[in-house]
């Protein structure tokens, strides 16, 4: 099993990577410093959105999974899903990415 870095370090690195690549990424909600789940909302130019989550696979490796929005759905539906996720896991981190200029920078980490 791979040892992973704290969530705050991962998010900080992703924010820096997005900034260097001129990708608009905003920290919407700060979660648990060490072990918070990470949710990424991809905002599409047509007003739709997608939601991705980092999950552990059976081998103990982190992978990215589309929670909803494949294909993209109304942004309001993604916001409702985010509220639902936060209601049972208040330690989540939420990042928003403008998908017109980039994708989920955390997928490359």
Q: Tens digit of pLDDT for each residue in 12-58? A: 999 999 999 888 999 999 999 998 999 999 999 999 999 999 988 89
* Whether pLDDT at 83 is above 90: yes
**Start-to-end CA span in the chain (Å):** 17
Residue identified by tokens 């208040």 is 90
User: In CATH, what is the architecture of 7-108?
Assistant: 3-Layer(aba) Sandwich (3.40)
Phi, psi (degrees; rounded to nearest 5) at 30: -90, 135
> To which H or E segment does residue 49 belong?
strand 48-56
- Report how far residue 53's alpha carbon sits from residue 69's, in angstroms, rounded to the nearest whole number: 12
Task: State residue 99's pLDDT score.
Answer: 85
Q: What is the pTM of this model?
A: 0.89
pLDDT band for 2, please (50, 70, 90 cuts): very low
């Amino acid at each position: 099993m791979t040892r992973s870095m704290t969530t705050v370090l991962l998010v900080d690195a992703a924010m820096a990577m997005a900034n260097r690549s001129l990708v608009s990424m905003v920290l919407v909600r700060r979660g648990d410093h060490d072990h918070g789940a990470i949710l990424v909302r991809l905002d599409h130019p047509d007003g739709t959105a997608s939601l991705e989550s980092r999950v552990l696979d059976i081998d103990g490796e982190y992978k990215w999974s589309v929670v909803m929005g494949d294909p993209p759905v109304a942004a309001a539906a993604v916001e409702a899903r985010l509220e639902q996720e936060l209601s049972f896991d208040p330690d989540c981190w939420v990042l928003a990415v403008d998908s017109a200029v980039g994708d989920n920078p955390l997928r490359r980490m």
